[in-house]
């Protein structure tokens, strides 16, 4: 059953002019980029204290420090197989749009 579904998906992608890919923070986890929920040490405080405009106005030095840590970590990260696949797909399908939705408002257990 899976083989037929995968074949159908591949054919749909081949014949499509426009493709939308929705990804989340977990897509970079295997490259060493911590998600907001998975690494409390890295983020130090709840995400609302570093990823909102209110947080920035309340404590801009803290917000800049968080994003500087993330920038440094990202500079050393390597693409994972998912990143490579998306890049290949984007080259093959120039009208591909990737949307990342990293903060979804759910509460993790």
- Write out pLDDT tens, residues 17-74: 999 999 887 888 889 887 766 766 677 777 777 878 898 999 999 999 988 988 988 8
Is the same domain home to 65 and 41?
yes
Centre a 10 Å sphere on the Cβ of residue 80 and count the other Cβ atoms it contains.
Answer: 15
Label residue 66 exposed, middle or buried (CB < 10 Å: 0-12, 13-18, 19+): buried
Note whether residue 59 is domain-resident: yes
- Whole-model pTM? 0.68
Whether residue 41 is contained in a domain is answered as yes
Looking at the fold, whether 51 and 69 belong to one and the same domain comes out as yes
* pLDDT for residue 109: 38
Structural domain for 38, as ranges: 34-76
CB atoms under 10 Å from CB of 9, counted, come to: 10
Domain count, the chain: 2
Q: Are 44 and 71 in a shared domain?
A: yes
């Amino acid at each position: 059953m899976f083989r037929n579904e995968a074949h159908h998906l591949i054919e749909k992608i081949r014949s499509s002019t426009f493709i939308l890919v929705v990804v989340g923070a977990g897509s970079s986890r295997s490259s060493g980029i911590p998600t907001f929920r998975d690494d409390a040490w890295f983020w130090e405080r709840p995400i609302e204290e570093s990823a909102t405009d209110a947080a920035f106005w309340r404590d801009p030095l803290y917000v800049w420090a968080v994003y500087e840590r993330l920038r440094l970590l990202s500079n050393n990260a390597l693409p994972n197989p998912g990143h490579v696949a998306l890049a290949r797909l984007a080259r093959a399908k120039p009208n591909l749009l990737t949307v990342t939705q990293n903060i979804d408002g759910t509460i993790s257990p």
